[in-house]
Amino acid sequence: MEKYTKTAIALHWLIALLIIAAFALGVTMTDIPGLTPTKLKYFSWHKWLGVTVLALVAARLLWRLTHVAPALPSSMPAWQVKVSDLMHGALYVLMFAIPLSGYFYSLAAGVPVTYLGVLPLPVLIEPNQELKPVLKAVHYWLNMGLLAAVLLHMAAALKHQFVDRDGVLKRMLP
């Protein structure tokens, strides 16, 4: 069975690892009471991970638009192909929407984002106390949606590997 390109595979796993790190850091930092130096450091790292994920997802999407994905097995039912396409589309939407919602939440809170502590990102909205809780909730629920989508994505990959034994998972393995 044909595999994804080495670039696509590298971007897939790098983005997955960074998303896991950002998610874990987000859960950890929000559980720290008060406003401590450690919590502020974790917030910065979380934002840097988010910006990095956004850039890498953009690169991955550009790569995907210019490189055809390997064909799915002909034995795969049409409904599964459709669900796979919808799930991949949802994953891309979420991988863009989550960092953007976090970015706008930070701006609404009056905290500009400076990537890696050296590159200030543009301030696209002014601080907005009414918008801040809305964006916080949007960021949270988009993350919960991504968590659910990733778990379904992993379950489907494992099903293809151990139940169908059709080689779908091997296409994305290094």
Residue 82 within a domain: yes
**Residue % of the chain over a pLDDT of 90:** 99
Burial of 99 (0-12, 13-18, 19+ CB in 10 A): buried
State how many domains the chain has. Answer: 1
Residue 16 lies in a domain: yes
| 124-154 tens-digit pLDDT | 999 999 999 999 999 999 999 999 999 999 9
Residue 144 lies in a domain: yes
Whether residue 42 has pLDDT greater than 90? yes
Residue 174 forms part of a structural domain: no
Q: Is residue 30 part of a domain?
A: yes
Percent of the chain with pLDDT over 70: 100
Domain assignment present for residue 145? The answer is yes
How many whole angstroms separate alpha carbon 134 and alpha carbon 142?
A: 12
Provide the domain limits for residue 49: 6-169
In a domain, 1, yes or no: no
Output the pLDDT for position 77. 97
Mean pLDDT value of segment 41-52: 98
Residue 1 in this model has a pLDDT that exceeds 90 = no
